[in-house]
Amino acid sequence: MDTQKTIDSIVENLFYALPVLHKRIMKINPPNVTAGIHISRIHFGILAVLHDHQSPVTEIANVFLISRPQMTFIMNQMLEAGLIKRTVNARDHRIKDTVLTPKGEEVFRQCDEYIKNNVKTMFSGLTEKELEELAASLQILKEIGPRLEQRGKTADTAMPGMMNRN
């Protein structure tokens, strides 16, 4: 298969695979979680990032490729629901970091468990070979992701105004 046909096939498969991954597998809002807001995929993603380490709003916005004002709006919802709090950055007092509250940690844990159970249920019908192939494919995506992201940043600067997010 030539390179262009391979790329066309990848694009076609991504248009199918990404909605399946996001909408069917990554169902977020567990019925028994009281978060104060509907937990969307972006809310869960923010909880996951903050579960690993505290971050300023700008860094989190960059992870999700959304504008800082939009991220601030989302984070304010989470702040009002008591899932996160803002603290002064230890190295630079001009910067406000965002951290999970104990409630945010608990909501993250419950959502994470709920998602893992959904994934296990969804994948339970796959054969061992299909599971191994899926695991290998996802590992490859994880490994090439940073290179694709870097190429995307290069393309963004080549097309001023097209992807400027901040």
Give me the pLDDT at residue 84, please: 95
The ranges assigned to domains in the chain are 3-116, 125-160
**pLDDT tens figures, 9-68:** 888 887 777 777 777 666 666 677 777 788 888 898 999 999 988 888 888 988 888 898
The confidence band for 157, taking pLDDT boundaries of 50, 70 and 90, is: low
Strands 55-56 and 84-88: unpaired
User: Residue range 101-109: average pLDDT?
Assistant: 93
Tokens of 36: 């104060």
Question: Which pTM was predicted?
Answer: 0.71
The confidence band for 118, taking pLDDT boundaries of 50, 70 and 90, is: confident
Q: What is the CATH number assigned to the segment(s) 3-116? A: 1.10.10.10
Tokens of 108: 């993250």
Rounded Cα distance, 55 and 95, in Å: 10
